[in-house]
Structure 1
């Protein structure tokens, strides 16, 4: 994804030094359109969740009687309590956006219950982490073992508690709940005492495990209280293994779990601003530039199977049913917003807008509700939607937040001037200045927007209209008179005059359709009309599991992969593929047998977003290669009952990873896990269809140093050929695999465990 990055440009008498500020969600209301619909659908989902069920893990840990049994799925299998933190944020932001009193009632109730748990614990702690008191006591004593997502065999505990930190912060900042502020301060003070005995090396060891943006929330505590200890802790909780290469402008991201890194970087940016540390802020800018320009696909998402893929090879993303994760885009929006406000650089908004329309908006079912985890770019595949009673994934937590805060950057302001950043139907009420601005638009279906000014008295100030990178023939009219400007795209047109009630600004532009290649420069292309990604519905067959059940892996598609060589291809020696599109109106285009439409409109269907583009000669040659590769891949998948990709976070979590003295990594474009003690997984063998286990490695296997146990028995019928182990005679519904290293020696690096029919 390439979006031209230019310095922020003010035109007219607006000062370039005026610091950009956001309006509060209370000051901006959505009035109609696709975003207002998404907000309304999200509100229904939020109200369908039961606060007492979300609070149950916290009551359990505090030893208080339950008012309702906790939810299942991830809320009962190790990440207990994480949705509760997200729920606080969602309630607070949706209340700020809508003034719905039921939301405020629920928020106040949840905060009061959390305060009750905190009081019962007696030391400032409140959390829902399983056996939390035992876990944190081990950490306090310096007993630390783990990396990636498992810390002392507990699933991302710092990531989990970060959600509560963030939820309490949002309850205070967006909804004015003073009790949330006190609970947050108590929790922060408890955490500072928790890590006080730990060395810097031990803290950095803890930070190897996914920990969300816990550094950012301590920076927020500093902003709230102005107490230096919180800013010091924020710096202490910043992961140097990620920060230092970014400061040096070194790309060390390939193979890393994507959403583990983005929240850290948001923290680096905030701490950099608070401490005037340009190196830290520069690290955040470098990261944003790298991810947005080299690692993001057309709809703004990034990662394959949750990890950053090589910038020069997106083939694995094209092949996978686990495309970009919505949580990544949730956090890239937050980073883009922070950098826009900090740097006064309008070009961050082009990427922000791209994600907003194409990934975030599309990640919620627009009628039935439900949130998407993975958005594959594999041709002819589909997505899965969460359900309130069954699905408690991370992308549900960020999902209920995503659609509460669409008003956050439609407008922004300096001391006296307004900036119109997005074309979304909305009303701005700048009460402090006595100014109201109403925006009516049907964008992206119409290339026009109208702004109407209301003011208590005539006032001199500037209204600045963003001129997007994708817009053409951009014109601005004030009360019907054209405003002449030589403004370039990726800037603002500044209208500085004495405004009075009833003044109207009309914005008219055109947008064209273009092709955008994958960032690796391969021949796979997507159609964009302005900032809108166009895609085609290709089928409504084999949508197995499209509305998720409560299974551990319910967020993944279960339907078959359709062969990539059967995907619709663009073939034309002139390579002028855009000229083949026939406009049908309402952002729909005919492409031979397909109809292209905005991707955010496509739901409950298989789709194609990326198309291979060929000359006639190249098409014949490439199709043969693709077919051979696809035949091999699909033959293996057809024989596979279950598999674990070692070293890949969600794959290991879904298969109940446990381990000690275990490490994971990424070498030669392959993930791996090794151990000096043990690690284990559990595979599902539905109907006992799997009969053998194939284990691939990056190293040779030495039977004298490493043992393999299947269901607690030393594996028999083992054959080893070319770093591939094959174990016959599997015959159980659950297959528990345990790798044990003898004598504290390093085991081989294991790449994959695959349960096969034969």
Structure 2
């Protein structure tokens, strides 16, 4: 605890002006006492304790050449991203320990840090990591041998992203749990990384940063905060990706098509570096990014992206059709960015988005009884989500999911030098030891529109109690010891009550909420019902929930159940004024809508659901349904004969199909992704039950035989048909086949958009 407080004091001393007046409380100072967030925290604690530290440490021991104490986990921990969950686990242990004081968490944390220190000592140069063949890989980078793409660096799966998780985990072990050894390992790892980069030019570093690298720039800024050694701050700036930063500095939106969770952590780093260097333009760039993503690219529950990529701001139709909706990792990082900007700017609008995303995406992304974390949250009507399991699932959203539910206390309250701010209505206690103030918040929100604040203080003291007036509140009333207060605040601000407070003072906050329809940002006729900050949805079916709890397959995080035609979705037909009047309140945030029951989305589990509803005037309904039915019929017919598919140029589909390649690049043109090469690239395609008969390859350019060849399992592929931008190949009778696309005559291949294994 002493370490944590001194760390915060150091942050404050760096520059009060740059950091702003608003400060967070430590997780140790806030305790959850009830409600859905406390339940989620408890469920997460059980999941955390179900994991085996020795299995998570195995990749690090393997790379250090030390004997294993347990075999490593499977899934993503054994196919290239080995060790990434271990870094997240350090963070989760540290923050959950800070939030609960559970001794077993500290015991596990100290054990893991000691084992990592042992690996670092064995390596002898400061390095510690779980990346497969890590020493060989890093030596190639040190020598300037760099061949990178969006997720592959020298055919290694996002190695900087992977090691960033360890950097962050060690930082959190020190910052939240006071583990001094974690700081020593972190500094050693940072020094090794700086030496690794020394021979490289800035251009080579930027080439490395083309590959997803998490918030590696942020963690070097953290190293500067911990040590005050400028070399770390200089490295943080060197590790800031200019291809994203420069357009943001110019307030240019170049985000469409980019892999969303690759970008958000970079921006968190820009904001932290801005605070430490006084670079106002970098902070403005971070704010511009946040505004763009939160206001024009996010759906009602706060999530963003389709199939992990930013979709066009003017067209959310892909998001409505896809079974791969917003990724939970995106919201994990958008909350981190929102928190940083709120503390820096003292702007409540950041809290409005933070609260919306916290309740509706983060809280909904964990199964409330069984545990398990969600990767994709589709907004496609009548679809569902998949939950992880401790022994089978090691996805990125499991790593961030472990952390998500450990830190709900981080922004319920904040403070300035002497004033207190109540930001969220969550049952909890605050122990502000520096001032001798204790506060207990009792509330049934969001089911009740009131919150009671009880104050205890060692002596009467004068300060302002600032209560957030949410943007969604229709009105707000404050009573102190039963007396109504005259307030001057307005929505999206604070109501300040200044007086000399004494023990036993009681503050009652009451507010009114209403239900409204919120359109998708593209202005289309799809809308969600939102009550206050709570997104409502309806359970529609429990049929065909295939893969509801994930197995250990590479793509276990994706739903396997059939897609229900969009024309089957419930629609709101009538004049616009009638849409809301169709809702009939049933109590506890439940509303009857014809045959459906709307309820908070975070309560909807183990079922298909509908969150977005099309709205029509009677005249438009028939015409639109006919057009939509034709589109759906064609799309579902193709899906019905598809055994496997790869969306080329998209990160996760390529990872899931074991992409390999040299001199290959990818891009996004005319709202379509692609990959091409001057040498080769390959995928492993699944032919389940040998049902596939042909491979359909679709390109964005004509497929010229002189410029490209296709082989299957290292043998020339048999061409069935070739026409313009498509080619069909015969599939071999094997459950897994490797398709290789190679360039010829020194010319690049066409831009390949999609590959499907078809039944005929």
| Shared fold (TM-score, shorter chain, > 0.5) | yes
Partner secondary structure for residue 738 of structure 2: strand
In 2, Cα distance between equivalents of 1:720 and 1:303: 34
What is the CA distance between 1:742 and its match in structure 2? 2.0
1:511-554 C-alpha deviation (Å, 9 max, x unpaired): 00000000000000000000000000000000000000000000
What is the CA distance between 1:263 and its match in structure 2? 0.1
In 2, Cα distance between equivalents of 1:575 and 1:451: 38
**Equivalence for 1:504:** 506
Pick from 437, 447, 450 the counterpart of residue 449 of structure 2. 447
In 2, Cα distance between equivalents of 1:32 and 1:597: 20
Q: Does structure 1 residue 474 correspond to structure 2 residue 476?
A: yes
In 1, Cα distance between equivalents of 2:187 and 2:104: 26
C-alpha contact (below 8 Å) 1:216/1:266 kept by paired residues: yes
C-alpha contact (below 8 Å) 1:706/1:747 kept by paired residues: yes
C-alpha contact (below 8 Å) 2:586/2:592 kept by paired residues: yes
**Equivalence for 1:753:** 755
What is the CA distance between 1:701 and its match in structure 2? 1.3
**Equivalence for 2:562:** 560
Pick from 149, 152, 161 the counterpart of residue 150 of structure 1. 152
In 2, Cα distance between equivalents of 1:488 and 1:460: 23
C-alpha contact (below 8 Å) 1:266/1:334 kept by paired residues: yes
**Equivalence for 1:646:** 648
**Equivalence for 1:543:** 545
C-alpha contact (below 8 Å) 1:583/1:590 kept by paired residues: yes
Partner secondary structure for residue 428 of structure 1: strand
**Equivalence for 1:528:** 530
Partner secondary structure for residue 637 of structure 1: helix
For structure 1, which segment, 471-480 or 237-246, has the greater mean C-alpha deviation from structure 2 after superposition? Answer: 471-480
What is the CA distance between 1:717 and its match in structure 2? 2.8
Mark the runs of 5 or more structure 1 residues left unpaired by the alignment. 1-14
C-alpha contact (below 8 Å) 2:20/2:343 kept by paired residues: no
Pick from 211, 230, 243 the counterpart of residue 213 of structure 2. 211
**Equivalence for 1:5:** none
Partner secondary structure for residue 578 of structure 2: coil
Mark the runs of 5 or more structure 2 residues left unpaired by the alignment. 1-16
In 2, Cα distance between equivalents of 1:379 and 1:308: 20
Q: Does structure 1 residue 709 correspond to structure 2 residue 714?
A: no
**Equivalence for 1:384:** 386
Matches within 5 A, 1:19-98: 19-98=21-100
**Equivalence for 1:596:** 598
Pick from 121, 124, 137 the counterpart of residue 122 of structure 1. 124
Partner secondary structure for residue 432 of structure 1: coil
What is the CA distance between 1:730 and its match in structure 2? 3.6
**Equivalence for 1:347:** 349
Pick from 461, 464, 488 the counterpart of residue 459 of structure 1. 461
In 2, Cα distance between equivalents of 1:16 and 1:389: 45
C-alpha contact (below 8 Å) 1:717/1:729 kept by paired residues: no
C-alpha contact (below 8 Å) 2:692/2:731 kept by paired residues: no
Superposition misfits of 4+ residues, deviation over 4 angstroms: 15-18
Pick from 571, 577, 580 the counterpart of residue 578 of structure 1. 580
C-alpha contact (below 8 Å) 1:535/1:607 kept by paired residues: yes
1:620-673 C-alpha deviation (Å, 9 max, x unpaired): 000000111111111000000000000000000000000000000000110000
In 2, Cα distance between equivalents of 1:743 and 1:116: 51
Q: Does structure 1 residue 728 correspond to structure 2 residue 721?
A: no
TM-score (norm 2): 0.97
**Equivalence for 2:9:** none
What is the CA distance between 1:692 and its match in structure 2? 0.3
In 2, Cα distance between equivalents of 1:680 and 1:185: 39
What is the CA distance between 1:574 and its match in structure 2? 4.4
C-alpha contact (below 8 Å) 2:489/2:495 kept by paired residues: yes
Matches within 5 A, 1:669-684: 669-684=671-686
Instruction: From the superposition, tell whether residues 575 and 635 of structure 1 become closer, same or farther in structure 2 (CA, over 3 Å).
Output: farther
In 1, Cα distance between equivalents of 2:719 and 2:170: 55
**Equivalence for 2:162:** 160
Instruction: From the superposition, tell whether residues 742 and 16 of structure 1 become closer, same or farther in structure 2 (CA, over 3 Å).
Output: closer
For structure 1, which segment, 741-750 or 192-201, has the greater mean C-alpha deviation from structure 2 after superposition? Answer: 741-750
Instruction: From the superposition, tell whether residues 18 and 435 of structure 1 become closer, same or farther in structure 2 (CA, over 3 Å).
Output: farther
Matches within 5 A, 1:617-628: 617-628=619-630
C-alpha contact (below 8 Å) 1:693/1:730 kept by paired residues: no
Partner secondary structure for residue 290 of structure 2: helix
For structure 1, which segment, 714-723 or 512-521, has the greater mean C-alpha deviation from structure 2 after superposition? Answer: 714-723
TM-score (norm 1): 0.97
1:586-605 C-alpha deviation (Å, 9 max, x unpaired): 00000001000000000000
In 1, Cα distance between equivalents of 2:576 and 2:492: 31
Partner secondary structure for residue 434 of structure 2: helix
What is the CA distance between 1:729 and its match in structure 2? 4.6
Pick from 395, 398, 409 the counterpart of residue 393 of structure 1. 395
**Equivalence for 2:196:** 194
Pick from 693, 704, 710 the counterpart of residue 691 of structure 1. 693
Pick from 644, 657, 660 the counterpart of residue 658 of structure 1. 660
**Equivalence for 2:520:** 518
C-alpha contact (below 8 Å) 2:44/2:405 kept by paired residues: yes
C-alpha contact (below 8 Å) 1:697/1:749 kept by paired residues: yes
Q: Does structure 1 residue 245 correspond to structure 2 residue 217?
A: no
Q: Does structure 1 residue 605 correspond to structure 2 residue 583?
A: no
For structure 1, which segment, 725-734 or 162-171, has the greater mean C-alpha deviation from structure 2 after superposition? Answer: 725-734
1:317-361 C-alpha deviation (Å, 9 max, x unpaired): 000000000000000000000000001111110000000000000
Q: Does structure 1 residue 434 correspond to structure 2 residue 424?
A: no
In 2, Cα distance between equivalents of 1:739 and 1:164: 36
In 2, Cα distance between equivalents of 1:150 and 1:703: 28
Partner secondary structure for residue 440 of structure 2: strand
What is the CA distance between 1:706 and its match in structure 2? 1.1
RMSD of aligned C-alpha atoms?
Answer: 1.0
Partner secondary structure for residue 29 of structure 1: strand
C-alpha contact (below 8 Å) 2:487/2:496 kept by paired residues: no
C-alpha contact (below 8 Å) 2:706/2:745 kept by paired residues: no
For structure 1, which segment, 48-57 or 697-706, has the greater mean C-alpha deviation from structure 2 after superposition? Answer: 697-706
Q: Quick one: higher RCO (CA 8 Å, sep 6+), 1 or 2? A: 1
1:7-33 C-alpha deviation (Å, 9 max, x unpaired): xxxxxxxx9997000000000000011
1:102-155 C-alpha deviation (Å, 9 max, x unpaired): 000000000000000000000000000000000000000000001100000000
In 1, Cα distance between equivalents of 2:578 and 2:129: 58
1:673-726 C-alpha deviation (Å, 9 max, x unpaired): 000111000011111000000000011112122110011110113421130111
**Equivalence for 1:372:** 374
In 2, Cα distance between equivalents of 1:637 and 1:368: 32
C-alpha contact (below 8 Å) 1:464/1:494 kept by paired residues: yes
C-alpha contact (below 8 Å) 2:427/2:442 kept by paired residues: yes
What is the CA distance between 1:486 and its match in structure 2? 2.6
**Equivalence for 1:668:** 670
Partner secondary structure for residue 36 of structure 1: helix
C-alpha contact (below 8 Å) 1:575/1:615 kept by paired residues: no
Aligned residue pairs, count:
744
Partner secondary structure for residue 584 of structure 1: strand
**Equivalence for 1:335:** 337
